[in-house]
Amino acid sequence: MKRFILTLAVLGCALLAAQAQPGRGGAAFQRPQVECSFDPYVAAPAGFDKMRQGIDRGALELVEYKSTTVGTVRKATVYLPPKYSPSKKYPVLYLLHGIGGDELEWLLGGVPNIIMDNLYADGKAAEMIVVMPNGRAQENDRAEGNVYAGSAAFANFEYDLLNDLIPFIEGRYSVKKDKFHRAVAGLSMGGGQSLNFGLAHMDTFAFVGGFSSAPNTKTPEELIPDVEKTKAQNSLLWMVCGSKDGLMYNSARLKAFCDEHGVPCTLIEYPDGQHDFIVWKYGLYNFAQLIFRK
């Protein structure tokens, strides 16, 4: 397996590719409104996503792993917290991208490294490794051509994640290997994946987050077929979506179901929020503070 330190040249090329992808609009998937109770919105502090001087910084690596699910070598971006040490064991957040993205989308649009560095500097988050994989589990996993035709590959990522990526991360890095030290969250298509995979595998993930989850999100009845089991095994079900995002339906119907059946669940309506990284960065900022806390 190979590991590379991310360079500005790599990021520059990836940025050009990302800019060529289709726009991220939720309006095309407008669905009926679902009445639900939203949780209080509290604005993130100014500068939460801006690089600060004089604080410790984490490291970014681009890794390659062998996928038996796909039959190829695949890539993922890994953020290591400041002063990462093999002598310690860390929890892991698997952070998933949207339909037009790849293993670099979060890094380019959502600056998770800066958000996490700032959270650590303020003592607001537990130290963790953040893994940003490519959620398109097929031989050609580049976001090119008609990206909307790849829904089967996004569903197939469930097996790549569980059978290939997680074992690779747990073999390469010093991590804790129980469900209470694994979380999964994502934006748009990745939000749907996170809800689908996280709630289906509560023996693997204790914390699940969906940011502006897309229409790939399963129905509440499919996500939570056993209410009592979910109440007992899920430690956090947390969602956010913009008030002007046409994909609110997917999150609102799950929140309404959870409220009706007494399943703990958070859904924040981001004021005037669209389907964009303004909302998703806010989601990461808040979700990261809630996971892996004793």
Confidence of residue 14 (pLDDT cuts 50, 70, 90): very low
pLDDT in tens, 28-59: 555 678 899 999 999 999 999 999 999 999 99
Q: Which residue has the tokens 């503070």?
A: 289
pLDDT in tens, 273-286: 999 999 999 999 99
Is pLDDT above 90 for 262?
yes
pLDDT in tens, 150-182: 789 999 999 999 999 999 999 999 999 999 999
Compute φ and ψ for 61, nearest 5 degrees.
-135, 145
Residue 84 inside a domain? The answer is yes
Residue 243 inside a domain? The answer is yes
Q: CATH number for the domain including 60?
A: 3.40.50.1820
Is pLDDT above 60 for 116?
yes
CA of 135: how far to CAs of 23, 146, 181, 227, 255, in Å?
Answer: 18, 16, 21, 28, 25
Question: Which regions of 134-279 does DSSP assign to beta strands (E)?
Answer: 182-187, 207-211, 236-242, 266-270
CA-nearest of 142, 53, 147, 60 to 95 is: 60
Give the predicted TM-score (pTM) of the model: 0.92
**Residue 9, pLDDT score:** 38
SS3 call for 155: helix
Cβ–Cβ < 8 Å for 138, 153: yes
Residue 186 inside a domain? The answer is yes
Cβ–Cβ < 8 Å for 191, 185: yes
* 249 class by beta-carbon count within 10 Å (0-12 exposed, 13-18 middle, 19+ buried): buried
Residue 12 inside a domain? The answer is no
The predicted model gives 84-104 an average pLDDT of 97
Is pLDDT above 80 for 16?
no
- What mean pLDDT, rounded, does the chain reach? 91
The predicted model gives 269-275 an average pLDDT of 98
pLDDT in tens, 199-229: 999 999 999 999 999 999 999 999 999 999 9
Residue 86 inside a domain? The answer is yes
SS3 call for 74: strand
Is pLDDT above 90 for 60?
yes
**Residue 280, pLDDT score:** 98
Terminal-to-terminal C-alpha distance of the chain? 34
Residue 51 inside a domain? The answer is no
Residue 279 inside a domain? The answer is yes
The parent domain of residue 202 ranges over: 3-7+34-40+56-139+149-290
CA-nearest of 142, 264, 124 to 208 is: 264
Cα separation of 85 and 81, whole Å? 9
**Residue 205, pLDDT score:** 98
Is pLDDT above 90 for 148?
no
Q: How many domains does the chain have?
A: 1
Is pLDDT above 90 for 74?
yes
**Residue 5, pLDDT score:** 54
Residue 24 inside a domain? The answer is no
